């Protein structure tokens, strides 16, 4: 009796660990994408068609719809706004403040903040969303 052996080789790729790797990659990218947003305070910004990028060191001033003021995510009182701007721009040559202003507020609130910047000789740039 002669026994024949199968001499064919069938290559196989083991994909059992591929699911674990894909899960960890997905988890990693989800965590990193939530950490990459520097502006944590959520407000509805006005929209504009033209945009300008700033490459200098900048300070973020956020005014929410309920008139709460934040400088770099630190809440301050409206009466302390001028002194807080002086403290945060100290030692910066040609300071630039990015103003994130809620679109539901009226124009007079915006003018009050801009007047403070003019008194302190601070350049203010308004942040907008794309339409």
- pLDDT of 29: 87
d(CA 15, CA 106) in angstroms, rounded, equals: 59
- pLDDT of 39: 55
Instruction: Using DSSP, state whether 39 is helix, strand or coil.
Output: coil
Q: Is the confidence at residue 1, as pLDDT, over 70?
A: no
Query: What integer best gives the mean pLDDT of the chain?
Result: 81
- pLDDT of 23: 92
- pLDDT of 24: 92
What domains appear along the chain, each with residue ranges and CATH number? 58-126 (3.30.420.270)
Q: Can you tell me the mean pLDDT for 4-13?
A: 76
């Amino acid at each position: 009796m002669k026994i024949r052996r199968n001499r064919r080789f069938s290559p196989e790729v083991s994909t059992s660990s591929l699911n674990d790797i894909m899960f960890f990659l997905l988890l990693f990218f989800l965590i990193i994408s939530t950490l990459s947003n520097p502006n944590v305070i959520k407000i509805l910004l006005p929209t504009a068609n033209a945009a300008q990028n700033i490459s200098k060191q900048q300070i973020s001033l956020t005014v929410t719809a309920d008139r709460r003021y934040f400088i770099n995510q630190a809440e301050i009182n409206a009466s302390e706004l001028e002194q807080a701007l002086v403290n945060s721009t100290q030692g910066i040559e040609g300071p630039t403040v990015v103003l994130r202003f809620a679109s539901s507020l009226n124009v007079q609130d915006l003018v009050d903040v801009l007047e403070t910047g003019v008194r302190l000789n601070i350049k203010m740039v308004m942040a907008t969303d794309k339409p």
